[in-house]
Structure 1
Amino acid sequence: MSRRARRQHAPAFKAKVALAAIKGEMTLAQLAEHFDVHPNQITQWKSQLQEAAAEVFGPGGGNRASESAVDVKTLHAKIGELTLENDFLEGALSKAGLLSAKR
C-alpha cells in the first residue's frame, strides 16, 4: 500500500470545489471522486469559503490585497531597522566584553 505524495492545490481549484459542494447538486462522495480529493478536504474548503464570504460584502470589500501589500512593506522596513539595531548592539557588547561567544 503506497501513499500518495502531498499535493498543493491552487486557490482557484479550491474555490471551484467548494462552490460545487455549496451548490449541493452532487454528494460529497461524488464530488470527491470527480475532483480526486478526499471528502473531508471538500468539507473543510466549503466551511472556509462560507466563513470568508462575509468579508467580501463587508466594509472594504475586496481591498485586502492592497492593504496587505502596504503592511508588508512597513513590516519589512521595521525588520531591517531592528536587524541593524541588533547588529550594532551585538558589536558594542562584544567590544565591552559583556556578550559571551556562546549564544
Structure 2
Amino acid sequence: MTKKTRRKFSAEFKAKVVLEALKERVTIEELARKHELHPTQIATWKREAMANMSSVFVSGKSDAVSDNERQIEQLYARIGQLQVENDFLKKRL
C-alpha cells in the first residue's frame, strides 16, 4: 500500500481558482472537477480570500517599503563591518 503525499498549491493557483469561484460562471462542483479539487477546499479558499480582501489594499505597498528599508540597513551594516575589517588588515600589514 502506497502512502499518498499531500499536494501543495501555489498562491497563484489558489487565486486563479478563487477568482473563477467568485465570478460564479460555473458551479463550485464543476470547478472542483476541472481542477481536481474537493468542493470544500474551494469554499475554504474562497472564504479566506473574502476575509482577507481588505488587507490587499491597505498593506500592499508598506510591506514592500519596509522590506527594502530592512535590506538597506543590513547592507549598510555589512559595509561598515567590511570597512572595519579592511582597516584592521591594512594596519597589520
| TM-score normalized by the length of structure 2 | 0.61
- Gapped runs of 5+ residues in structure 2? 71-93
Please list every run of at least 4 consecutive aligned residues from structure 1 whose deviation after the TM superposition is greater than 4 angstroms.
none
Q: Deviations over 1:51-77 (max 9, x none)?
A: 11111222x43433554684xxxxxxx
Is the CA contact 1:21–1:46 (under 8 Å) kept in the aligned structure 2? yes
Q: Deviations over 1:65-96 (max 9, x none)?
A: 554684xxxxxxxxxxxxxxxxxxxxxxxxxx
Is the CA contact 1:18–1:45 (under 8 Å) kept in the aligned structure 2? yes
| TM-score normalized by the length of structure 1 | 0.56
Higher helix share: 2
C-alpha distance in 1 between matches for 2:56 and 2:42: 21
- Give the aligned CA root-mean-square deviation in angstroms: 2.7
Alignment correspondent of 1:26: 26
